[in-house]
């Protein structure tokens, strides 16, 4: 196994015992709204990886299908009430927007944001559905699943009229049987749940296993929160084990840590992306981007760090 890292985050912090779910994991169900978090450091890591994978798929003419199991509203106003509440984007994409020293993978992602903003100001943020839609060609397909009725309505409205895109109100964990393998035999599955229910951790693992059993050669991108929960700490190892020997192109796991836990271990310290069947270009691209991002997005320079591991 190849391992590239500067400061492997200690996770979970042994000084802080595993605890009950933090506030943002709490019921009621579907309390999570991505609009509050759009463009934060976690979106930066997830979406720059997504852009890299889609641009890789675009290198061949043959069409592909993108399946986004937890799609959200599709795009977000950064001037709106929700994004404006904690202004999380200011610690994420806001720190990249005016820089002229972006590493290539970050540059490719920011170019997609500029295309969506259609002007010099950063006013709105594209979620995974819009990023995918921007990069899709005529021969490609996009399948979007979102359970929250308000976000589903926004998403459906935004995608209306695009024959390449289908939007459904559905539990994204349950659609894999119908979606995989795709008729295109090329595809990317994005699994990006809110983890507001602890059961999401086990369901993500089950979804990876099911996806690879149906479509072993497909790319799977999973976003994971870096929080101090036992379920979160165990999931990366379990995902690696599920992909090992099943995904013909192996796996990649990347971490970006930006801050120390708040009192009692609360808060999102950073995030991870797990990719099954990554293109060979992803590890070098992330290994160049992540040290730069860890510096630029650091909230606490003492703890900020990154790691990128592959199955070799
Ligand atoms: N993938 C989006 C992006 O990158 O722009 C963000 C998705 S957000 C992290 C998670 C979304 O999943 C929320 O909009 C939430 O309403 C939705 N959701 C929660 N549970 C779900 C489920 N079981 N199936 C489908 N959507 C779900």
Could you report the per-residue pLDDT of 212-260, keeping only the tens digit for each? Answer: 999 999 999 999 999 999 999 999 999 999 999 999 999 999 999 999 9
Of all protein residues, whose CA lies closest to atom 17 belonging to ligand 1? 70
Residue 306 has pLDDT above 80, yes or no: yes
Asked whether residue 23 is assigned to any structural domain, the reply reads: no
CATH of the domain at 77: 3.40.50.150
Q: Relative to the CA of 145, which ligand 1 atom is closest?
A: 25
Which alpha helices (DSSP H) does 160-229 contain, by range?
176-179, 199-214
* Ligand 1 centroid from CA 172, angstroms: 8
Task: Tell me the two tokens of residue 44.
Answer: 């930066």
The pLDDT score that the predictor gives to residue 263 is 74
- Across all residues in the chain, what is the average pLDDT? 90
Asked whether residue 155 is assigned to any structural domain, the reply reads: yes
Asked whether residue 20 is assigned to any structural domain, the reply reads: no
The residues, any chain, with a CB within 8 Å of residue 153's CB and separated by 6 or more, are none
* Ligand 1 centroid from CA 73, angstroms: 9
Asked whether residue 93 is assigned to any structural domain, the reply reads: yes
Residue 266 has pLDDT above 50, yes or no: yes
Using most ligand atoms within 8 A of CB, pick from 26, 129, 146, 176 the residue to mutate for ligand 1: 146
The pLDDT score that the predictor gives to residue 22 is 41
* Ligand 1 centroid from CA 215, angstroms: 22
Round to whole Å and give the CA distance between 168 and 129.
13
pLDDT tens, position by position, 21-33: 444 433 346 788 8
Residue 15 has pLDDT above 70, yes or no: no
The pLDDT score that the predictor gives to residue 28 is 44
Residues with active-site annotation: 192
The pLDDT score that the predictor gives to residue 288 is 98
Asked whether residue 280 is assigned to any structural domain, the reply reads: yes
Asked whether residue 70 is assigned to any structural domain, the reply reads: yes
Sign of CA dihedral 76, 77, 80, 86: positive
Lowest mean pLDDT among 49-58, 74-83, 122-131: 74-83
Task: Tell me the two tokens of residue 127.
Answer: 């979620």
The residue segments making up the domain with residue 138 are 2-14+28-310
- Say if residues 246 and 196 touch (Cβ distance below 8 Å): no
What is the total count of domains within the chain?
1
The pLDDT score that the predictor gives to residue 29 is 60
| Average pLDDT estimate for 189-209 | 97
Q: Relative to the CA of 50, which ligand 1 atom is closest?
A: 4
Asked whether residue 119 is assigned to any structural domain, the reply reads: yes
Q: What angle do CA 282, 284, 287 make, to 5 degrees?
A: 105
Q: Relative to the CA of 203, which ligand 1 atom is closest?
A: 23
Of all protein residues, whose CA lies closest to atom 6 belonging to ligand 1? 72
Asked whether residue 90 is assigned to any structural domain, the reply reads: yes
Using most ligand atoms within 8 A of CB, pick from 193, 200, 203 the residue to mutate for ligand 1: 193
Report the pocket of ligand 1 as residue ranges, CB < 6 Å: 30, 32, 34, 46, 68, 70-72, 127-128, 145-148, 151, 171-173, 192-194
| Average pLDDT estimate for 114-127 | 95
Give the pLDDT band of residue 7 (cuts 50, 70, 90): very low
| Average pLDDT estimate for 148-164 | 97
* DSSP helix, strand, coil percent of the chain (3-state; round to 5): 40, 20, 40
Percent over 70 (pLDDT), the chain: 90
* Ligand 1 centroid from CA 4, angstroms: 31
Residue 37: closest CA among 267, 300, 252, 301: 267
Reported as type and span, the H/E element at residue 240 is: helix 230-243
Residue 312 has pLDDT above 90, yes or no: no
């Amino acid at each position: 196994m190849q391992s590239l890292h500067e400061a492997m985050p200690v996770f979970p912090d042994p000084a802080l015992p595993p605890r009950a779910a933090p506030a943002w994991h709490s019921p009621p169900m579907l309390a999570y709204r991505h609009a509050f978090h759009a463009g934060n450091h976690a979106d930066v890591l997830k979406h720059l990886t997504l852009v890299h994978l889609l641009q890789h798929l675009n290198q061949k003419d043959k069409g592909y299908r993108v399946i986004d199991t937890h799609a959200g509203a599709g795009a977000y106003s950064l001037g709106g009430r929700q994004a404006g509440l904690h202004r999380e984007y200011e610690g994420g994409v806001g720190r990249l927007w005016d820089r002229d020293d972006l590493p290539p993978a970050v540059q490719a992602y920011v170019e997609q944001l500029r295309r969506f903003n259609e002007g010099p100001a950063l006013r709105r943020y594209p979620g995974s559905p819009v990023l995918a839609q921007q990069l899709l060609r005529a021969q490609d397909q996009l399948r979007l699943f979102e359970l929250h009725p308000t976000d589903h309505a926004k998403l459906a409205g935004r995608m209306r009229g695009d024959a390449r895109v289908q939007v459904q109100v559905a539990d994204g964990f349950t659609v894999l049987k119908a979606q995989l393998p795709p008729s295109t035999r090329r595809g990317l599955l994005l699994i990006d749940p809110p983890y507001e229910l602890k059961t999401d951790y086990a369901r993500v693992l089950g979804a990876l296993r099911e996806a690879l059993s149906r479509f072993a050669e497909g790319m799977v991108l999973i976003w994971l929160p870096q929080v101090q929960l036992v379920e979160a700490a165990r999931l990366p190892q379990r995902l690696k084990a599920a992909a090992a020997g099943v995904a013909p192109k192996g796996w990649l796991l990347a971490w970006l840590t930006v801050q120390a836990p708040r009192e009692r271990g609360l808060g999102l310290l950073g995030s991870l992306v797990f990719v099954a069947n990554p293109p060979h270009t992803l590890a070098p691209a992330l290994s160049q981007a992540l040290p730069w991002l860890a510096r630029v997005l650091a909230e606490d320079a003492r703890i900020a760090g990154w790691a990128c591991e592959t199955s070799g």
